[in-house]
Amino acid sequence: ELFKQFAPADVEEIFLPIVLHLCRDPVATVRSVAASKVGDLLVALGGELDIARMDESTREMIGRVVKRVKEFSLDTYQAKQNFVTMCSSLANKVSSSLFIFEFAPMLLSLSEDEVPNVRLVLASILAQFAKDVDTATGGKLKITVHSNASLFKAPEIKRAVQGGQAQ
């Protein structure tokens, strides 16, 4: 991809501001396309590496980018929707430790967002993820998405996972 042709510092300095600016564009399609490129951008910076294997400068650069991406989860409903789209792009590109530590908690909080469209985008991306896992494993692994907090209410999820009631 385009980002891999440049030094990580150049990607952070030049392309990150462009992509994040386009993620706030008034045109929904522009926002969506830009949000879908955030995963590629983080990979170009070394985000596919496990956090423990990153050198200090890479860890700091990834930290700065992650901070800017996470700001979308605390902004307008459009920015929150874009954050969910960004996370969809990140989920299969960056290391699982980076995703789980930095982005999953924000997604969990958005599952209770007051704006239905934010929850709808999140639910549709989770449903698509479940289908992708089923397809990728040839049906050997199935993820069941329980909608409307039918299995556990959002505040109870962490406790249910810790107690072995859910995985």
Longest CA pairwise span in the chain (Å): 47
pLDDT for res 66: 92
Pure H helices in the chain:
8-10, 16-22, 28-36, 38-44, 56-70, 77-91, 96-98, 104-110, 116-136, 157-162
pLDDT for res 35: 92
pLDDT for res 154: 67
* Rounded Cα distance, 162 and 142, in Å: 21
- Report helix, strand or coil for 166: coil
Task: Read off the pLDDT of each residue in 107-114 and give the average, rounded to a whole number.
Answer: 89
pLDDT for res 127: 79
Reported as a pLDDT band with limits 50, 70 and 90, residue 4 is confident
Cβ 153 vs Cβ 111: under 8 Å: no
Torsional sign, CA 121, 48, 93, 9: positive
Going by C-beta distance under 8 Å and a sequence separation of 6 or more, which residues neighbour residue 84?
Answer: 107, 110, 118, 121, 122, 125
pLDDT in tens, 25-54: 999 999 999 999 998 888 888 867 677 788
pLDDT for res 10: 92
pLDDT for res 25: 95
- Report helix, strand or coil for 141: coil
pLDDT in tens, 56-91: 888 899 999 999 999 999 999 999 999 999 988 888
Going by C-beta distance under 8 Å and a sequence separation of 6 or more, which residues neighbour residue 130?
Answer: 142, 143, 144, 145
Higher-pLDDT residue of 31 and 145 is 31
> Of 92, 91, 131, 94, nearest to 107 (Cα)?
91
The reply to whether the predicted model has a pTM over 0.85 is no
Look at residue 140 and tell me whether its pLDDT is greater than 70: yes
C-alpha separations of 4 from 11, 22, 35, 100 in Å? 8, 20, 17, 24
Higher-pLDDT residue of 98 and 1 is 98
